[in-house]
Amino acid sequence: MIYKTMDKKEVSHVTQLLENVKSALKEKDSIHLRDLSDQTTHESCKTQDSGSITLAVIIYTLSKLIERKDYKRIKTWDTFVKKFSGLLDLAKKALQESNQRAYESHLLKARRSIESLSVNLKPYIKEVMRKSCINKASNIYEHGISLGQTSRLLGISQWEITEFAGQRTLNVPRTLSVKKRAEMAMEFFQ
């Protein structure tokens, strides 16, 4: 794996982002977490580094767990938040020391901590994480990153990405119905 070194501006941005994630997680603010995930997805399209993409997936997964009130079913939620925040602090420190490898390692540990959050909810949490990956992959693909590259960056199949992206676009009508076109023509001539 190739580790890309961030410049000072990127490091400053990501460290602030990590602080914002910790704060939103503590406040159980799913909307702020989702916004942070979207920002991270946008930035990851520029850098195409696995750390940014992992972070976007993690944040989105947390937003879903909070939005759906799943955290209430997890007895160790408060302990998890402290441990998770500690991992983000370690990731932040690694970034400030220009240690990209350690940064990404801490993010992977944070991801694993989510996946192992609750024995009873483990399959459900893994499914939320998988859907988060697919969602973020679809967003990255829509930002113009190739399907193959997106698939490699997130470790999911190209089929899953295109299937999800297709579902999102199928809900948008591509052409107007005959009736609607006739109504528009009648309005034009009035």
Q: Is 48 left (phi over 0), alpha (psi -120 to 50) or beta?
A: left
Query: Cα separation of 53 and 70, whole Å?
Result: 23
Segment 65-98, tens digit of pLDDT: 999 999 999 999 999 999 999 999 999 999 999 9
**pLDDT tens string for the chain (190 positions)?**
445 677 888 889 999 999 999 999 999 999 999 999 999 888 877 777 778 888 999 999 999 999 999 999 999 999 999 999 999 999 999 999 999 999 999 999 999 999 888 888 888 888 888 888 888 888 888 878 888 888 887 778 888 888 776 665 434 344 566 777 677 677 766 6
Tell me the two tokens of residue 182. Answer: 């006739």
**How far are the Cα atoms of 49, 140, 154, 168 from residue 148, in angstroms, in the given order?**
15, 11, 10, 20
User: What value does the CA radius of gyration of the chain take, rounded to a whole number of Å?
Assistant: 20
Identify whether the C-beta of residue 65 lies closer than 8 Å to the C-beta of residue 140.
Answer: no
pTM of the shown model: 0.77
- Residue spans of beta strands (DSSP E) within the chain: none
CA distance 69 to 66: 5
The string of pLDDT tens digits covering residues 51-73 is 888 899 999 999 999 999 999 99
